[in-house]
Amino acid sequence: MKSRKRTLTLVLTVLLLAVTVTITAALMIPSAEELLTQSMETLETIRDGRAIIEVTAELPDETYTGTFAVWGKLDVGPNGEPAGRVEALAASVAELVGVTAVTDGEQFWLYDPNRNMVVVGDVEEMTAVLAEKMAEHEDQFPMPHDFDPESADIPQTPAEGAAKLLEYVTAERNGSEEVAGTDAYRLRLVPIPEQMPDEVRMAGGFINLWLRAGDRLPLAVEYAEGAVGYGKIEATEIEINSGLDESVFTFDIPEGAEVIQAVDLLAQMEAMKADAVAEADFEALTPADLPESAALAGIQSIGGAVVQRYNLADGRSFVVAQGQSMPLEAPAEAAQSEKVTVRGVDGTLFSNDDGSRALLTWDEDGFVFVVGGDVTPAQALAMAESLK
């Protein structure tokens, strides 16, 4: 009898210990907010690092992949500027393989081995040029009317940063996996619809984030199940604060390579854009009434026609084209077509089944006009009427 009691006592003790260990272990696993805070704390300690990363981007019409070697270091330039180096080791776009970008914080080099060409420039000079270019498109990306950068609530600590992030997404632990040869926590970040701009809310999807178990260093990030496609960046090798030699951030121009100054290249691009319009021998009209988030991506001259291409925030696009000759056939996806009046003349409007894509064409004063792409029939007509 005593033996049975001792056995029962031993079993109960073991079970109690097991339950205690399980509860203690569960309590020791950090919450999603704690993991994000600890990750930001780790990021604050990084002075230098190197990694091999694999990139995947799946768009509606194309899939791109690549493997890149990346180096970075803070406080290398004469005024404490950061330095960096990126080399394309492999890519689904063959022309990218071997392309190398380097900056020592003061100068930068962009080397294309396929053309044996190096674009060189001064970081400060290019920063000013790019700021000027961005200012030209400032009205295309308006900030909210009540946004004041001077009084914006900028997080001052990792804990405040994590709390601010959680105002816009919900975060939950979603298991663990091995990434870059080590254990990693996986978090799922789901945007809070009411906190997101319309474009982000329409795109949907969520973000998976992998944090190294030892120090919460981000090892991978993935955007999944969104309307605009799929993307993932994952480190297969990574190390931080190893004391990188600054010679990594210099570049020796290969013998015989063509050297082009970056500012000269930008000037050439601007000239080509102007020539594209001039070649058509007429003043191209531009739409004043554009869909929300539309931004001019480029202007080309194709067969004597001026083609203006616009990008939308959700990864879609459309064109506005005009020229003296543009033979057109009904788009293969056109489910219906109708005769319309546009700018006082007859036109033809094609659209697909759900009305998400349209193509509008008409003749006016000896020129052929086309508005088409990822726009609704109503948007195509509105842009056509607003051409000036």
The reply to whether 18 falls in a domain is no
Which of 211, 229, 260 is at the close of a domain? 260
Angle of helix 262-279 relative to helix 123-136, nearest 10 degrees? 30
Length of the chain: 388
Same domain flag for 201 and 255? yes
Enumerate residues 6+ apart whose C-beta is below 8 A from 57. 63, 64, 65, 229, 230, 231
Tens digits of residue pLDDT in 189-229: 999 988 887 667 777 889 999 999 999 999 999 999 887 78
The secondary structure element, H or E, covering residue 384 is: helix 377-385
The reply to whether 136 falls in a domain is yes
Same domain flag for 199 and 256? yes
Average of per-residue pLDDT values in the chain: 83
CATH number at residue 203: 2.50.20.10
Same domain flag for 285 and 171? no
**Distances from the Cα of 301 to the Cαs of 176, 258, 273, 278, 307, in angstroms?**
52, 27, 9, 9, 6
Same domain flag for 376 and 307? yes
CB atoms within 10 A of CB 76: 20
What residues make up the domain containing 65? 32-260
The reply to whether 6 falls in a domain is no
* Tokens at 387, concatenated: 């051409």
Q: What is the distance between the alpha carbons of residues 29 and 23, in angstroms, rounded to a whole number?
A: 10
Quickly state the pLDDT bin for 162 (edges 50, 70, 90): very high
pLDDT at 2 over 70: no
pTM over 0.75: no
Number of domains in the chain: 2
Which of 229, 260, 291 is at the close of a domain? 260
Same domain flag for 108 and 75? yes
The reply to whether 7 falls in a domain is no
The reply to whether 209 falls in a domain is yes
**Distances from the Cα of 347 to the Cαs of 107, 183, 369, in angstroms?**
53, 62, 9
The reply to whether 182 falls in a domain is yes
Enumerate residues 6+ apart whose C-beta is below 8 A from 234. 53, 54, 179, 180, 210, 219, 220, 222
| Predicted local distance difference test score (pLDDT) of residue 117 | 92
Q: Which has more pLDDT, 329 or 98?
A: 98
Q: What is the distance between the alpha carbons of residues 291 and 375, in angstroms, rounded to a whole number?
A: 8
CATH number at residue 376: 3.30.200.100
Same domain flag for 337 and 196? no
Q: What is the distance between the alpha carbons of residues 123 and 298, in angstroms, rounded to a whole number?
A: 25
| Predicted local distance difference test score (pLDDT) of residue 22 | 39
Same domain flag for 236 and 322? no
Same domain flag for 242 and 285? no
* Tokens at 354, concatenated: 């759900």
| Predicted local distance difference test score (pLDDT) of residue 134 | 63
Same domain flag for 206 and 343? no
* Tokens at 52, concatenated: 């091999």
Tens digits of residue pLDDT in 256-279: 999 988 878 777 766 665 555 555
Same domain flag for 287 and 185? no
Tens digits of residue pLDDT in 342-375: 999 999 999 888 888 899 999 988 888 999 889 9
* Short-list 89, 102, 84, CA closest to 54: 89
**Distances from the Cα of 37 to the Cαs of 32, 83, 161, 166, 172, in angstroms?**
9, 26, 7, 11, 13
pLDDT at 128 over 80: no
Give the bridge partners for 201, in sequence order. Answer: none
Quickly state the pLDDT bin for 300 (edges 50, 70, 90): confident
Same domain flag for 311 and 199? no
b/e 151-172 (16+ beta carbons within 10 angstroms → b): eeeeeeebbebbeebeeebebe
pLDDT at 281 over 70: no
Q: What is the distance between the alpha carbons of residues 202 and 213, in angstroms, rounded to a whole number?
A: 34
- State mean pLDDT over 329-351: 84
The reply to whether 23 falls in a domain is no
Same domain flag for 336 and 374? yes
Which of 232, 260, 288 is at the close of a domain? 260
Give the 3-state secondary structure of residue 199: helix
The reply to whether 273 falls in a domain is no
| Predicted local distance difference test score (pLDDT) of residue 283 | 74
Evaluate whether 231 touches 223 at the Cβ level (below 8 Å). Answer: yes
**Distances from the Cα of 7 to the Cαs of 4, 10, 21, 223, in angstroms?**
5, 5, 21, 54
